[in-house]
């Protein structure tokens, strides 16, 4: 996977404007909609059981996020997910708060069991919980896991047959064979609510235009991280950083991935 491939993928997203269907939380949903547009995609939010499968049928990717999970949403996630699987549409699962409550842990596991999830993206604690590696979660934040996150992510990806993304100072992206570290980003991304959710949305837009999920996730995280780095430069605080994050991603040229992406294989 060369820098040119990443840049070409980003250019394809911008050109094709893939629809990204979200079933997500009501906290960061507006941020997810706007960041999808800034990345080059077109967001759709729809969660009623009456329409989710039909909506999934017309999109390029499905993003499932359990940030404000409820019982009704689970049925919609399963219905949309089954449709996505039928139509070979990638599903990105963000298991927000898995490990914080049994309801979230069980639901994330159920979605992983009953659907063919394409990319599972969480923080170290959440992935640790789902991988059975004694992950620790404090509310919806990671408090780490027991063991080597790279080894755990790799083994889990291999066993589950999915691509796993562990967000952090360096994001880990692995399908169980290849392991990439994406070292773009900025600590200010942790000073606002929703950057994790947004990363999943951007990943959805890239996954819609790629057949290589490791490539899609790495390119998406690099693009989002570069925007974060640039946004931090002039920010006076977390919310002016947030404003700049959207502006910078929207203004980011695909070719920027050639020079600014910090992705290495390990």
Q: Return the number of the residue (96 or 157) whose C-beta is nearest its own copies.
A: 96
Q: Which residue do the tokens 């002039």 mark?
A: 234
| Shortest distance in whole angstroms from residue 184 CB to its own copies | 19
Q: Is 155 in the site for its own copies (CB under 8 A)?
A: no
**Selected binder of its own copies within 150, 192, 255, 260 (CB under 8 A):** 192
Please say whether the beta carbons of 23 and 190 come within 8 A: no
Q: Return the number of the residue (44 or 160) whose C-beta is nearest its own copies.
A: 44
**Selected binder of its own copies within 97, 149, 185, 225 (CB under 8 A):** 97
Q: Is 75 in the site for its own copies (CB under 8 A)?
A: no
Strand partners, 19: 42
Taking contact as CB under 8 A, which single stretch among the options 83-91, 93-101, 128-136, 254-262 is the one that binds its own copies? 93-101
**Selected binder of its own copies within 1, 68, 109, 116 (CB under 8 A):** 68
Q: Is 158 in the site for its own copies (CB under 8 A)?
A: no
Could you give the angle at the alpha carbon of 223 between the alpha carbons of 242 and 95, nearest 5°? 75
Strands of the chain, DSSP E: 19-23, 42-45, 61-65, 91-94, 119-123, 137-138, 141-142, 163-167, 171-174, 179-182, 263-265
**Alpha carbons 138 and 55: distance in angstroms, whole number:** 34
Six-digit token pair at 154?
């790799």
| Shortest distance in whole angstroms from residue 101 CB to its own copies | 4
Closest Cα to residue 84, out of 121, 51, 46, 115?
A: 115
Please say whether the beta carbons of 23 and 115 come within 8 A: no
| Shortest distance in whole angstroms from residue 250 CB to its own copies | 5
Residues at the interface with its own copies (CB under 8 A): 19, 25-31, 33-34, 37-38, 42-48, 50-51, 54-55, 58-59, 67-71, 97, 100-104, 138-141, 191-194, 236-240, 242-248, 250-251
């Amino acid at each position: 996977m060369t820098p040119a491939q990443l840049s070409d993928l980003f250019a394809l997203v911008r050109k094709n404007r893939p629809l990204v269907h979200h079933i997500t939380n009501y906290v960061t949903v507006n941020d997810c909609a706007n960041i999808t547009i800034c990345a080059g995609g077109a967001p759709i939010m729809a969660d009623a059981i009456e329409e989710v499968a039909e909506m999934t049928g017309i999109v390029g990717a499905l993003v499932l996020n359990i940030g404000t999970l409820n019982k009704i949403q689970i049925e919609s996630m399963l219905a949309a997910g089954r449709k996505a699987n039928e139509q070979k549409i990638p599903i990105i699962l963000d298991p927000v708060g898995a490990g914080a409550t049994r309801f979230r842990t069980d639901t994330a596991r159920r979605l992983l069991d009953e659907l063919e999830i394409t990319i599972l993206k969480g923080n170290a604690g959440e992935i640790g919980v789902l991988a059975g590696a004694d992950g620790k979660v404090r509310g919806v934040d990671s408090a780490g896991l027991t063991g080597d996150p790279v080894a755990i992510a790799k083994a889990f990806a291999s066993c589950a047959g999915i691509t796993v993304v562990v967000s952090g100072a360096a994001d880990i992206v692995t399908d169980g064979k290849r392991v990439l570290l994406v070292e773009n980003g900025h600590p200010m991304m942790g000073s606002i609510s929703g950057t994790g959710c947004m990363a999943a949305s951007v990943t959805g837009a890239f996954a819609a235009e790629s057949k290589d999920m490791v490539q899609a996730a790495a390119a998406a995280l690099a693009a989002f991280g570069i925007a974060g780095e640039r946004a931090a430069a002039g920010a006076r605080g977390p919310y002016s950083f947030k404003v700049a994050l959207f502006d910078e991603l929207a203004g980011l040229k695909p070719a920027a991935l050639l020079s600014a992406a910090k992705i290495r294989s390990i």
